[in-house]
Chain A
Amino acid sequence: MQSLPDYYACLNVPRSASSDEIRQAFRKMARRFHPDANTDPHAAEEFKLISAAHETLTDPPRRAEYDTRLLAFDIPFSIEAVYSRNSLRAMSDPQVVYCLLNIKTIARAKRITPPLNLCLVIDRSTSMQGARLDHTKSAARQIIEGLNENDFFSIVTFSDRAEVILPSQSCENKPLILSKVNAIQASGGTEILEGLMAGLLELQENINPKSINHLTLLTDGRTYGDEENCLLLGTLAESDGIVISGLGIGDEWNDVFLDQLTATTGGESLYIHSIEKVEDLMVKQVRGIGGTMAQRLRLQVTCDTDVKLRSAFRIYPEAHPIAVDDQPLRIGSIPPIGISSILLEFVVKTGNDSRQNIARVSIMGDILNMGRIEEKVSADLTQPISNSAKAEPPPLAILQTMDKLTLYRLQEKAWAAAEGGKVREAAQHLEVLASRLLTSGERDLAQTTVEAASRLGNTHQIPSDAKKRIKYGTRAIISKL
């Protein structure tokens, strides 16, 4: 089925609106989104859409035809917005409003489980020798056991070069596939680019927009000099509809790079801090992909005049920051549970109206459980303006989310300070974080943080193992429901 924009929602009018009401609504929306009035780079696109809505809905025969199509069309997912305040204050200074967007797939009796097109790209460098590789192979075996016959699967290993251990194929002959896994041996360096390229080529063999096309990269090392090219490959993968996830084992791998690489595709990076957890995390990650309800979600935030999107953070599933300078924002997928949450932080200057429009948000993506691709749903974020200085308490959902997000931001601050040579400041941030973790019941992570603060103070070196534990540990706290 072709995607159908909801023209009524675009103009913010009821479906029973008269032609006059539609014209009036169009004039109001045109003032909001006309490129002469709104400098947001995506305002023009929005303006085109409302113009089309106006044209269709004010022409009775075309409106009747559109209405028939709209009736037969179900909205694939819903957007719910929770704000940090129930009104903005009338004032000339800028003010902050946080908005928690909950994106929910519509529950339906009939569900389609889309086929998987999966490639495991496994680091087999010398440092993987022994327990690391043994656990990884055991994880791969468990993943294979769980695959369906119509899933496509491939395995690539890499060290200085990449080898296609198992070319992309359906999973009818599992004994053969398992024997390939058992033959993997460790030796050599870590050239991620080689592995990535070979893995993407395997996925291309059986790529299908209605499948889940996914590359899972597992590494314990650092790739040197080819990061830029890896990121470029990530961009290409994204445009082909392939999601890349990364799992890092031990302390040597580059978390900043893996974050960047996976974020370009809307995937996630995970930290495996002890080798006993390899099976657990790898198998869980792949199972999670299999039940994906919606994938390749992109969020377009078109701000109103005098509004700025300051930050975005994915809260659920797998919390991580989202860069806001490159729209549309890649916000990943909706897991089997059917919900994904994004926190947006806006800086707003209020105007003279009694309501302040903040932004129009549009979410685009593939709704796999309904077998529909390239869907789009929009919603308007607005707040009333009040003259009263009395503030209502923020909703609990926002307070809890922000409280947990503050933990993550404290450690970001600490590492940034440490990298800038401000060791004392960094250690202080870590100490504050430790006491807050302690009172949140995160005893182990608090202990790690206290130790990291004193190691940093003594050696003036960032303890890289503790850094990863704290970074991924505080992320995990955010996405705990």
Chain B
Amino acid sequence: MIICPNCKHEEYDGTLFCSECGVRLWQDKQGDDTANIGHEASSQTDRIGIANLEHEYPAPPSGQIFIRIHGVGTSMVLTGKAEYILGRKDPRTSSIPDVDFGPFGGQQMGISRQHARLKYGTDGVSIIDLSSTNGTLVNGKIIAPNESRHIRNGDDIRLGKLAFSVYFAEKK
């Protein structure tokens, strides 16, 4: 049996998408520690699937952030908070980040348990790297640990080897 990481629905082994909430269930087998993916690896993003990155996406309603993980087009909506911790769930300390990339191969992609913080403030959206093992990149450029960096609608973010795009309504 597989348990859906999003809605806890039980599915048979081999199921690709949760029949209840539609989340992608296929993933690599993973261990526990953040894999050190090295520098060479982190300069390359694995992109499979149908992501059309040149496409301009419309901004979601004000206050919401859409995250689209590059790959098979899985997306999430963040709403209701001013700050979101991005990382992966640690089965030992049971600390759960706001956005858990574990189900998307987070461990193998080199995502730390507390990797970065996404902040939706009055002056827009910013991202802060929380001294992660493999670093955070904004549009391909690495940002310094604990530095807050403003991002714009449609920017590409990479945590370790996992890349995603962020969409939100920019203040005029």
By a beta-carbon cutoff of 8 Å, the part of chain A in contact with chain B is 84-85, 88-89, 91, 93-98, 347, 389-391, 393-394, 396, 398-400, 402-403, 405-407, 409-410, 413, 429, 431-433, 435-436, 438-441, 443, 446
- B58 and A443 form a contact (CB under 8 A): yes
- Extra 12 A-B pairs, beta carbons < 8 Å, given A93-B1, A439-B73: A84-B16, A85-B14, A89-B13, A97-B14, A393-B26, A400-B50, A407-B22, A432-B77, A433-B22, A436-B22, A438-B167, A439-B75
Number of B positions contacting A (CB below 8 A): 32
Q: Which of B50, B52, B75 contacts A436 (CB 8 A)?
A: B75
Please measure, in the bound complex, the distance between the C-alpha atom of A440 and the C-alpha atom of B69, giving whole angstroms. Answer: 11
Contacts of B66 in A (CB 8 A): 435, 438-439
List the B residue with the shortest CB-CB distance to A97: B14
Contacts of B58 in A (CB 8 A): 438, 443, 446
10 A-B pairs, CB-CB below 8 angstroms?
Answer: A389-B29, A393-B48, A394-B26, A396-B49, A400-B50, A400-B72, A409-B22, A432-B77, A439-B57, A443-B57
Q: Which of A391, A406, A441 contacts B29 (CB 8 A)?
A: A391
List the A residue with the shortest CB-CB distance to B15: A96
- B16 and A398 form a contact (CB under 8 A): yes
Please measure, in the bound complex, the distance between the C-alpha atom of A293 and the C-alpha atom of B167, giving whole angstroms. Answer: 45
- A390 and B13 form a contact (CB under 8 A): no
Q: Which of A389, A402, A407 contacts B16 (CB 8 A)?
A: A402
- B72 and A399 form a contact (CB under 8 A): yes
- A96 and B13 form a contact (CB under 8 A): yes
State the Cβ distance, A351 to closest chain B Cβ, in Å: 16
Given A96-B12, A441-B52: A409 and B73 within 8 A (CB)? no
Contacts of A405 in B (CB 8 A): 17
Is B55 located at the chain interface by the 8 A CB criterion?
Answer: yes
- B29 and A94 form a contact (CB under 8 A): no
A396, A406, A439, most chain B CB atoms within 10 A: A439
List residues of B (87-107) whose CB comes within 8 Å of A's CBs. Answer: none
- B75 and A435 form a contact (CB under 8 A): yes
- B60 and A93 form a contact (CB under 8 A): no
Contacts of A436 in B (CB 8 A): 22, 73, 75
Q: Which of B11, B19, B76, B167 contacts A409 (CB 8 A)?
A: B19
Is B158 located at the chain interface by the 8 A CB criterion?
Answer: no
Is B20 located at the chain interface by the 8 A CB criterion?
Answer: yes
Please measure, in the bound complex, the distance between the C-alpha atom of A393 and the C-alpha atom of B22, giving whole angstroms. Answer: 18
List residues of B (5-60) whose CB comes within 8 Å of A's CBs. Answer: 11-17, 19-22, 24, 26, 28-29, 48-50, 52, 55, 57-58, 60
- A410 and B26 form a contact (CB under 8 A): no
- B75 and A441 form a contact (CB under 8 A): no
Please measure, in the bound complex, the distance between the C-alpha atom of A412 and the C-alpha atom of B2, giving whole angstroms. Answer: 23
Please measure, in the bound complex, the distance between the C-alpha atom of A9 and the C-alpha atom of B55, giving whole angstroms. Answer: 48
Please measure, in the bound complex, the distance between the C-alpha atom of A93 and the C-alpha atom of B15, giving whole angstroms. Answer: 13
- B20 and A413 form a contact (CB under 8 A): yes
- A95 and B13 form a contact (CB under 8 A): yes
Contacts of A402 in B (CB 8 A): 16-17
Q: Which of A95, A389, A399, A446 contacts B14 (CB 8 A)?
A: A95
List the B residue with the shortest CB-CB distance to A98: B16
- A91 and B16 form a contact (CB under 8 A): no
Is B161 located at the chain interface by the 8 A CB criterion?
Answer: no
- B48 and A440 form a contact (CB under 8 A): no
Contacts of A407 in B (CB 8 A): 22
Contacts of B117 in A (CB 8 A): none
State the Cβ distance, A135 to closest chain B Cβ, in Å: 31
Please measure, in the bound complex, the distance between the C-alpha atom of A402 and the C-alpha atom of B52, giving whole angstroms. Answer: 18
State the Cβ distance, A174 to closest chain B Cβ, in Å: 45
A94, A389, A399, most chain B CB atoms within 10 A: A399
State the Cβ distance, B26 to closest chain A Cβ, in Å: 6
Contacts of B21 in A (CB 8 A): 429, 432
State the Cβ distance, B69 to closest chain A Cβ, in Å: 9
Contacts of A443 in B (CB 8 A): 57-58
Please measure, in the bound complex, the distance between the C-alpha atom of A93 and the C-alpha atom of B14, giving whole angstroms. Answer: 11
List the A residue with the shortest CB-CB distance to B75: A439
Please measure, in the bound complex, the distance between the C-alpha atom of A406 and the C-alpha atom of B26, giving whole angstroms. Answer: 14
Please measure, in the bound complex, the distance between the C-alpha atom of A93 and the C-alpha atom of B24, giving whole angstroms. Answer: 21
